[in-house]
Amino acid sequence: MNLAFAAAAAVLFGSGAYLLLKRDLVRMVAGIMLISQCALVTIIGSSLSRGRAAIGVRPGEEVSDPLPQALALTALVIGLATVALLLALVHRVVVALRSAEQDELTADEAEDEAGLERERRAEKDEVA
Amino acid sequence: MVASPGGVTGAGDDQGSVRLPGDRLGWATCLAAAAGFVLCLFGWLAGGGAVSLPWAPSLNLRLSFALDGLGALYGLLATGVGALVFAYGTRYLSLHLRHQRRPAAERWRFWPWMALFAVAMVGLATAQDLVLVFVFFDLTAVCSYFLIGFDRAERESRTAALMALLVTVVAAVAMLVAAVLLYAAYGTFSIPELLARAGPGSTTTVAAALLAVAALAKSAQAPLHFWLPRAMAAPTPVSAYLHSAAMVAAGVLVIGRVYPLLARSQAVLTGLLVVGATSIVVGGVLALRRDVLKQILAYSTISQYGYMVMLYGIGGTDGAGAAAFYVLAHGIAKSALFMTAGAVTMATGEDRLSRMGGLGPRAPALAVAAGAAAATLAALPLTMGFFKDELLFSAALSGGPVTAVLAVVAAALTFAYIGRFWMGLFLGPVRGEVSATSRLLVAPVVILAAVAVLGGVFVEPFAALAGDAAGEMTGRAVALSPSYHLDFRPENLMALAGWGLGALLIAMPRVSGRMSEVMAAAGERVGPRRCYEATLRGLVRISAALHDREVRDLRTSIAAVLVPAGLLTALAFAATPTAGAYFVGAVSGADWVILPLLALVVIVTVMIVRSRSRLSIVLALAVVGFALAAVYALVGAPDVALVAVAVETVLTLVFVAALARIPRDDLGAVAEPARVGRRRRDALAGGIAGLAAFATVWGFLSQPATDSVSEAQIRLTPAAHGGDVVTVIVADFRGLDTLVEITVLLAAVIGVATLLRRGRLWGVVRNGRAGRKPAPKRADGDGPAIAAAEHRPAGKVFGWLVAPWRLDRGRARIATSAVVTPGAGNDAPSAIVRVVARQLPGPALMIAIGLIVKGYVEVGDGFAAGVIVALAIGLSYVAVGAEAAEAALPMLRHAPKLAVGGLLLALASGFFALALGEAPVTHRPAPDESVVKIGTLELFTPLAFDVGIFLLVVGVLTMLLHHFARPHGEGHR
Alpha-carbon torsion, ordered A78, A81, A83, A85, to 10 deg: -140
- How sure is the predictor about B855, in pLDDT bands with cuts at 50, 70 and 90? low
Cβ atoms of residues B125 and B81 within 8 Å: no
Those of residues 18-47 in A touching chain B at CB distance below 8 A are 18-24, 26-30, 33-34, 37-38, 40-42, 44-47
What integer pLDDT is reported at residue B851 of this predicted model? 79
Measured over all CA atoms, what is the biggest interatomic distance in chain A, rounded to whole angstroms?
Answer: 75
What integer pLDDT is reported at residue B175 of this predicted model? 94
Tell me the chain A residues in contact with residue B809 when contact means C-beta distances shorter than 8 Å: 96-97
Q: Which of B605, B726, B790 lies closest to A11 in CB terms?
A: B605
Contact criterion met (CB < 8 Å) for B658 and A88: yes
Q: How far is CA B530 from CA A40, B223, B295, B522, in A?
A: 56, 11, 19, 11
Tell me the chain B residues in contact with residue A82 when contact means C-beta distances shorter than 8 Å: 748
Mutation site for A-interface testing, chosen from B752, B857, B956 by largest number of A Cβ within 10 Å = B752
- Give Cα B949 to chain centroid, integer Å: 38
Those of residues 58-97 in A touching chain B at CB distance below 8 A are 63-67, 69-70, 72-74, 76-85, 87-97
Q: What is the pLDDT of residues B909-955, one digit of tens each?
A: 888 877 777 777 777 777 667 777 766 667 777 788 888 989 999 99
**Which three-class secondary structure state does DSSP give residue A63?**
strand
Cβ atoms of residues B650 and B643 within 8 Å: no
Nearest CA in chain B to A121: B540
Tell me the chain B residues in contact with residue A54 when contact means C-beta distances shorter than 8 Å: 636, 714, 724-726
What integer pLDDT is reported at residue A126 of this predicted model? 61
Q: What is the pLDDT of residues B214-271, one digit of tens each?
A: 999 999 998 888 999 999 999 999 999 999 888 999 999 999 999 999 988 899 999 9
| ipTM of this complex | 0.88
Question: Which residue did the predictor score with more confidence, B22 or B275?
Answer: B275
For B391-422, give the DSSP string: HHHHHHHHT-HHHHHHHHHHHHHHHHHHHHHH
- Give Cα A40 to chain centroid, integer Å: 12
Among the residue ranges A87-101, B269-283, B294-308, B951-965, the one predicted with the least confidence is A87-101
Contact criterion met (CB < 8 Å) for B729 and A19: no
Contact criterion met (CB < 8 Å) for A67 and B713: yes
Q: How far is A73 from chain B (nearest CA, A)?
A: 6
Q: What is the pLDDT of residues B540-553, one digit of tens each?
A: 999 888 877 776 66
Is B637's Cβ below 8 Å from some Cβ in A?
A: yes
Question: Which residue did the predictor score with more confidence, B379 or A61?
Answer: B379
Q: Which of A10, A80, A124 lies closest to B697 in CB terms?
A: A10
- How sure is the predictor about B92, in pLDDT bands with cuts at 50, 70 and 90? very high
Q: What is the pLDDT of residues A21-45, one digit of tens each?
A: 887 888 889 999 999 999 999 999 8
User: Can you give the pTM of this predicted structure?
Assistant: 0.66
Within 8 A by CB and 6+ apart from B758, the residues are B765, B794, B796, B798, B799, B802
E-strand stretches of B59-155: 61-66
Is B46's Cβ below 8 Å from some Cβ in A?
A: no
Q: Which of A13, A55, A57 lies closest to B858 in CB terms?
A: A55
Helices (H), B187-315: 191-197, 202-218, 227-230, 236-242, 247-257, 259-263, 266-287, 293-314
Q: What is the pLDDT of residues B619-639, one digit of tens each?
A: 999 999 999 999 999 888 888
What integer pLDDT is reported at residue B892 of this predicted model? 83
Q: Which of B609, B729, B749 lies closest to A66 in CB terms?
A: B729
What integer pLDDT is reported at residue B715 of this predicted model? 83
Assign 3-state DSSP to chain B and report helix, strand, coil percentages, each to 5.
Answer: 70, 5, 25
Question: Which residue did the predictor score with more confidence, B127 or B862?
Answer: B127
Tell me the chain B residues in contact with residue A16 when contact means C-beta distances shorter than 8 Å: 689
Is A9's Cβ below 8 Å from some Cβ in B?
A: yes
Nearest CA in chain B to A73: B640
Contact criterion met (CB < 8 Å) for A53 and B162: no
Q: Which of A20, A33, A50 lies closest to B636 in CB terms?
A: A50
Q: How far is CA B728 from CA B527, B639, B721, B744, in A?
A: 70, 12, 9, 21
Helix (H) or strand (E) holding A27: helix A25-45
Determine the Cα–Cα distance for residues B253 and B257; give it in Å rounded to an integer: 6
What integer pLDDT is reported at residue B967 of this predicted model? 55
What integer pLDDT is reported at residue A102 of this predicted model? 66
Tell me the chain B residues in contact with residue A63 when contact means C-beta distances shorter than 8 Å: 636, 714, 725
**Quick one: three-class SS letters along B678-697?**
HHHHHHHHHHHHHHHHHHHH
Mutation site for B-interface testing, chosen from A36, A61, A69, A109 by largest number of B Cβ within 10 Å = A69
Is pLDDT above 70 for B778? no
Alpha-carbon torsion, ordered B77, B83, B88, B93, to 10 deg: 110
What integer pLDDT is reported at residue B545 of this predicted model? 86
Q: Highest mean pLDDT: which of B482-486, B777-781, B828-832?
A: B482-486
- How sure is the predictor about B812, in pLDDT bands with cuts at 50, 70 and 90? very low
Tell me the chain A residues in contact with residue B808 when contact means C-beta distances shorter than 8 Å: 95-97
Determine the Cα–Cα distance for residues A24 and A8; give it in Å rounded to an integer: 25
Contact criterion met (CB < 8 Å) for B714 and A54: yes
Q: What is the pLDDT of residues B552-606, one digit of tens each?
A: 667 777 777 778 888 888 888 888 877 777 888 777 778 888 899 999 999 999 9
- How sure is the predictor about B14, in pLDDT bands with cuts at 50, 70 and 90? very low
Tell me the chain B residues in contact with residue A14 when contact means C-beta distances shorter than 8 Å: 686-687, 689-691, 693
Is A107's Cβ below 8 Å from some Cβ in B?
A: no
Contact criterion met (CB < 8 Å) for B663 and A84: no
Those of residues 675-694 in B touching chain A at CB distance below 8 A are 682-683, 685-687, 689-691, 693-694
The H helix count followed by the E strand count for chain A is 4, 0
Tell me the chain B residues in contact with residue A32 when contact means C-beta distances shorter than 8 Å: none
Tell me the chain A residues in contact with residue B966 when contact means C-beta distances shorter than 8 Å: none
Is B601's Cβ below 8 Å from some Cβ in A?
A: yes
Contact criterion met (CB < 8 Å) for A7 and B598: yes
- How sure is the predictor about B19, in pLDDT bands with cuts at 50, 70 and 90? low
Nearest CA in chain B to A109: B552
Is pLDDT above 60 for B896? yes
